Amino acid sequence: MTQFPNWFAGQQYNFEAQLAHLNGKPDLRFLQIGAYTGDASVWLCENVLTHPTCVLIDVDTWAGSDEREHQAIDFERVLKYYEARITKYQKVIRLKMTSDKYFTGEIAGKFDFIYIDGDHTSAQVERDAYSAWKLLKDGGILAFDDYLWGQDLPPDTTPKPAIDNFLRTHTGEYTQLVDSYQVWIKKNDN
């Protein structure tokens, strides 16, 4: 057991329900914005990205944020814990940077799955969503975590307004897969 909260455990069922059919397929490319302790990364490597040609890119600052949940967490220890867990998975590429920096760099290829669980401010979630959408393959899945998180906080500090705006803007371009604490959509084929 770790001293860090495992927020992934409460949402793992969506990963199982929406991604299990991809298990063992070759050449899958997954991207996570926000990797924290690697709970989702480990699960993906062991349950979906099992073919040796698959790749998982984890983008995170490992610096935390102003969220109250992060105040008592030592993010240097989080990063060390993440690295110790991920080291055995050759398919994982760890990038310690902001999502903005990642998305403005040169990115080769598109992704089959993108999971957005980084900075929770509305402005950042919206930038991540639009950037991710451009990199998502037709038929690919885009998932947002923490859709209902922080309802007692000012809206500009939470993901929900950004996700709602993104979904409105892209009406007709996706199929809704999950609409609860997480939002999962599948990009329609063009």
> Would you say residue 75 has pLDDT above 90?
no
Q: Which two tokens stand for residue 180?
A: 């609860």
The pLDDT score that the predictor gives to residue 72 is 62
Task: For residue range 100-140, list pLDDT tens digits in order.
Answer: 999 999 888 899 999 999 988 999 999 999 999 999 999 99
**Side chain identity, residue 176:** Q
Q: Which two tokens stand for residue 93?
A: 């590429």
**Spans of all domains in the chain:** 11-17+24-187
> Would you say residue 70 has pLDDT above 70?
no
How far is residue 42's CA from residue 88's CA, in Å, rounded to a whole number? 10
Residue 55, beta-bridge partner list: 29
Q: Which two tokens stand for residue 131?
A: 């950037």
Q: Which residue in the block uniquely carries the two structure tokens 């996706």?
A: 174
Architecture of domain 11-17+24-187: 3-Layer(aba) Sandwich (3.40)
Q: Mean of the pLDDT values across residues 27-41?
A: 96
The pLDDT score that the predictor gives to residue 154 is 81
- H or E stretch at 168: helix 160-169
How far is residue 59's CA from residue 78's CA, in Å, rounded to a whole number? 14
The pLDDT score that the predictor gives to residue 65 is 62
SS3 51: coil
How far is residue 6's CA from residue 173's CA, in Å, rounded to a whole number? 33
> Which of 103, 104, 67, 63 lies closest to 82, judged by CA?
63
How far is residue 34's CA from residue 27's CA, in Å, rounded to a whole number? 22
Tell me how far the alpha carbon of residue 2 is from its chain's centroid: 21
- Lowest mean pLDDT: which of 1-15, 34-48, 79-93? 1-15
Phi-psi region of 65 (alpha: psi -120 to 50; beta: other; left: phi over 0): beta
Q: Could you tell me the pLDDT band of residue 11, with boundaries at 50, 70 and 90?
A: confident
> Would you say residue 158 has pLDDT above 50?
yes
The pLDDT score that the predictor gives to residue 68 is 61
> Which of 125, 183, 128 lies closest to 158, judged by CA?
125
The pLDDT score that the predictor gives to residue 149 is 83
CB 144 within 8 A of CB 159: yes
Average pLDDT, the chain: 91
